[in-house]
Structure 1
Amino acid sequence: MLVHLIADYGLGDLAFAEVVQRLKCYLPDAEAVLTPVPPFATLAAGFCLAQLGLNDAPPGTLIYHNVAPRRDEVAARPDNAGERLAFARLPTGVRVVGVNAGYTFSFVRDAALELRWASVPAAGSQFRSRDLFPRAVAAIALGEPDALGDALRPGDVPDPPPSCVAYVDGYGNLKTTIAARTTSLPAGARVRVRVGEVEREAVASDGSFNVAPGHLAFAPGSSGWRLAHGAVRWMELFLRGGSAWEHFGRPDVGSAIEIEPKSP
């Protein structure tokens, strides 16, 4: 069974090894693939799980994610309580189990065939993703009775935020929440791009490599997925031969993006 583990523990952190070890106690055949995201970056986690869950995947694929900032309540948290564990079943057959925090389920909310709470306590350990959740993940994966609870309400999962940085890949490309179908810039048009407090000039392109080395492109990227009303593809900021992330001063996930045509 392919199990994608998306979490904000940190690349190579001991926590990944501990969670995989505990998970395999309950699912011995699990083949874990690790995907780290920045600390508390629920938007990046949601983007990653949609990219993996709404595209073709082997039968039985499971996504287990844990990014839990514990920001659903501002008061002190007794017994290490945090956001609750939820479940989604996607049209691809992929099952998603993870903490419903921030935007983690936002990109799959409307596509999900089923969206329910998991039957597991939300408190009891500072390291819930190791001590509490793996057993619940296995129970759901194995179809055990009473593993799932009530359906989530529409207001339990927010819309994805528009026009912002969703994910930064290993090359420094900025994947955005700007859908390609919402842009009408002709190829070759010069645009001003502001990410956070930094402004740069970019070239609108229909393909990232259709710009000269050293130039910044604003183009449809490699990320996207199928939905009931059609496919969605996300725009990307790409610096040919460099890092757009560095070029814009290392913006955080969630940083706002503004695109304006450049005056002649």
Structure 2
Amino acid sequence: MLVHIVADYGPGDLAFAEVAQRIKLHLPDAELVPVSVPAFSTLAAGFCIAQLGLHAAPPGTLIYHNVAPREDDPTARAGNAGERLAYARLPTGVRVIGVNAGYAMSFIKDEAEKLRWAASPAEGSQFRSRDVFPQAAAAIALGLPAALGDEIAARTVPEPPSSVIAYIDGYGNLKTTIAYDAKKVRPGKRIGLRIGDRRHEATVSDGAFAVRHGELAFAPGSSGWPTRRGGDVQWMEIFLRGGNAWHLFGGPAIGSPVALH
């Protein structure tokens, strides 16, 4: 069973090892793949969940995610309580189990065939993704009775923000929540892109490598997925060929607005 662990522990962090060990305890046949996102970035987690979950995957694939900033209640919390554990089943057959925090479920909420609460406590440990959630995730993965709770109304899950940075890959490419529209993209057009206090000229392209070396492109990237309505969404990407767009714009955070001029 392929299990993606999407979390904000940090690459090579002890927390990844501890969570992996606990998941293997309950699912011995699991093949674990860690996916790291920045601390508390539910937006990046949600983007990764959709990118992995809405494409063809091996039978039984599971996405286990935990980015839980515990921002659902600003008051003091008893028992280290936080956002509740949720479950989604996607049209690809991929199952998603993780906290319903921020934008973590936003990209899949309208694509999911099932969206329900997990029958798991939301408190009991500061490190719930190690001490509490793996056993609940295993119960769901194994189809055990009473592992799931009530349905979650998709309307209660926030929409992902528009025109922001959703993910930054290892090459410094900025993946945005600006959807590609073939009718509006005019290849070769020069536009201004502003992120924070940095503004740079870019060439609009219908393919990231359709610009010269050292040139900034605004183009449909490699991220996107099919929708239940029979279409496809593809996200625009800011790409510096032969360089690093994230560095060029001064290292903006995920969630930073992207303005076009």
**If the TM-score is normalised by the length of the shorter chain, which range does it land in?**
over 0.9
Q: 1:118 & 1:82 partners in 2: Cα distance?
A: 14
Q: 2:190 & 2:65 partners in 1: Cα distance?
A: 39
Q: 1:109 & 1:29 partners in 2: Cα distance?
A: 28
1:122-157 Cα distance to aligned partner (Å, 9 max, x none): 011000000000000000000000000000123431
1:63 is paired with a residue whose SS is: strand
Map of 1:251 onto structure 2: 252
1:4 is paired with a residue whose SS is: strand
Query: In structure 1, what residue type is equivalent to 2:83?
Result: E
Map of 2:118 onto structure 1: 118
1:55 is paired with a residue whose SS is: coil
1:76 is paired with a residue whose SS is: coil
Map of 1:173 onto structure 2: 173
Q: 2:183 & 2:219 partners in 1: Cα distance?
A: 10
Q: 1:223 & 1:51 partners in 2: Cα distance?
A: 7
Q: 2:177 & 2:65 partners in 1: Cα distance?
A: 20
Map of 1:96 onto structure 2: 96
1:148-200 Cα distance to aligned partner (Å, 9 max, x none): 00001234310010000000000000000000027713101000001122111
TM-score by length of 2: 0.98
Q: 2:73 & 2:202 partners in 1: Cα distance?
A: 40
2:177 is paired with a residue whose SS is: strand
2:181 is paired with a residue whose SS is: helix
Q: 1:259 & 1:48 partners in 2: Cα distance?
A: 25
1:17 is paired with a residue whose SS is: helix
Aligned counterparts, 1:30-179, within 5 A: 30-179=30-179
RMSD: 0.9
Q: 2:76 & 2:186 partners in 1: Cα distance?
A: 52
Q: 1:166 & 1:154 partners in 2: Cα distance?
A: 21
Deviation at 1:26, TM superposition (A): 0.5
Identity of matched residues, %: 65
Q: Which segments of 5 or more consecutive residues in structure 1 lack a partner in the other structure?
A: none
Alignment coverage as a number of residue pairs:
260
Map of 1:237 onto structure 2: 238
Q: Which segments of 5 or more consecutive residues in structure 2 lack a partner in the other structure?
A: none
Q: 1:50 & 1:155 partners in 2: Cα distance?
A: 18
Q: 1:35 & 1:248 partners in 2: Cα distance?
A: 24
Deviation at 1:213, TM superposition (A): 1.0
1:181 is paired with a residue whose SS is: coil
Map of 1:28 onto structure 2: 28
